[in-house]
Amino acid sequence: MREFKEKRNSEIITEAQAESAILVGLITPNQNERKTTEYLDELEFLATTAGAVTVKRFTQRLNGPSSVTYLGIGKLQEIRAYIDQEEEAEREIGMVIFDDELSAKQLRNIEKELRVKILDRTSLILDIFAMRAQTASAKTQVELAQYRYMLPRLQRLWTHLERQGGGSGSGGGKGSVGLRGPGETQLELDRRIILNRMSLLKQRLAEIDRQKATQRSNRGRMIRVALVGYTNVGKSTLMNLLAKSEVFAENKLFATLDTTVRKVIVDNLPFLLSDTVGFIRKLPTDLVDSFKSTLDEVREADLLLHVVDISHPEFEDQIKVVEKTLADLGCAEKPVMVIFNKVDAYTWVEKDADDLSPITRENISLDDLSHTWMTRLEGACLFISAKERKNIDTLKQVLYDKVRQLHVQKYPYNDFLFQQYDESGEVK
């Protein structure tokens, strides 16, 4: 009984510690209501991954975000009224999360109005990355991205930065008592410290890049295959299946930050398989720049396995995001094999025979879907379930054929582990 009480109490404490969050998004001419809802669903998943609980969503129709307050003043007052209402009911709101990146000016004005912690999409992703980073490389990359984000927002982040540290500044050029004379403001001092720290981190990353480049050059004469795709589509699960490894996999966003490379042998053919960080909409540029060493695995790959979550209602949009990111990385021309994962989770609603309403995405079966635009991929796509091990043998066979073809082209005089013979005794 005592154990039960202790367990119950710990559960209550854990629940109380979870911060509640409000999500905010815009409906614009370029982003309709359906898109905004989808983006806020993803933002909620990000918030959940970071450890927050979403309690309310607010949206507003505007031609574009306000340069001063992102939202209209009326909508900000509505959010403030809701926060006050919740506080009166002893349900404190921990933060308000905006679906776009906010400028320093917008952050300052919103905080002044709402008087709670304000996060934007970029800072939330950075927080998750900081939580997920395990290796020295990933931690360094995340820290650099955080400093890049922080630098233009210093004045908002710390109120003490406006104080005079000496010389001219906030005292009308006179300086503080006992501190008159040459010097620099605290803001300038902290900015210089951050710039020095960023310079040091860049040097450290350059060393890591050289080490990884050396590692890649010593991998021998093997074809390199990279798993790419949207975040949380099952890349790590597929990696564990193919490589028989123990790569961390979880149903949360950005479970993988550190690139994992494993040697995989299918029949007589060895090749290298790498698991990479997942892509996402509105991925901060600073993160892309910081994770250069991670993304080099994608750039140097001979074949890309684009993993897609077929059960996601907006998987086609996710495909476009990944393709755009690959194009930005200069990898658009690489051979790509599309793998539609999570067929076990795919659901659809069959229409009645007398239902004359237009067919929607929810009414299309997996079989019908596979005969749509996917047929144009000319066999370069497969439908699997890594979790349930469905169609894995076919995947291995197709993968073997593609890697073997690339291997013969790249290393024409390199023998395989052993020779394979056909029924007549000829070498295949």
Please write the tens of the pLDDT for every residue from 380-420. 788 888 888 888 888 888 898 898 888 888 887 766 655 65
Q: Which amino acid is at 22?
A: I
Residue ranges of the chain with per-residue pLDDT less than 70: 1-17, 155-185, 216, 218-220, 245-258, 284-287, 289-294, 352-357, 359-363, 373-379, 414-428
Q: Are 231 and 278 in contact (CB under 8 A)?
A: yes
Q: Which of 54, 66, 51 is nearest to 100 (CA)?
A: 66
Residue 138: its H or E element = helix 136-150
Question: What per-residue confidence (pLDDT) applies to 428?
Answer: 55
State the alpha helices, DSSP H only, in 151-229: 154-157, 186-217
| CB-based contacts of 250, cutoff 8 Å, min separation 6 | none
pLDDT (tens digit, 9 = 90+) per residue, 57-95?
999 999 999 999 999 999 999 999 999 999 998 888 989
Q: Let me know the angle formed at the C-alpha of 323 by 379 and 301, rounded to the nearest 5 degrees.
A: 75
Q: Give CATH 3.40.50.300 domain extents, the chain.
A: 221-410
- Summarised one tens digit per residue, pLDDT across range 9-43 is 434 333 445 789 999 999 999 888 988 998 999 89
| CA separation, residue 422 to residues 71, 419, 428 (Å) | 69, 10, 6
**Cα 155 from chain centroid?**
28
CA-only gyration radius of the chain, Å: 26
Per-residue model confidence (pLDDT) at position 172: 47
Q: Which whole-number Å values give the CA distances from 20 to 15, 96, 118, 119, 156, in the listed order?
A: 10, 9, 12, 13, 23
Give the pLDDT score at 14.
36
| pTM (two decimals) | 0.76
In CATH, the architecture of 19-127 is 3-Layer(aba) Sandwich (3.40)
- The ranges of the chain annotated as CATH 3.40.50.11060 are 19-127
* pLDDT (0 to 100) of residue 426: 54
Cα 244 to Cα 241: distance, rounded to the nearest angstrom: 5
Task: Give the CATH architecture of domain 221-410.
Answer: 3-Layer(aba) Sandwich (3.40)
Residue 418, SS3 per DSSP: coil
8 Å CB contact between 145 and 286 = yes
- Maximum alpha-carbon separation in the chain: 97
The pLDDT assigned to 250 comes to 57
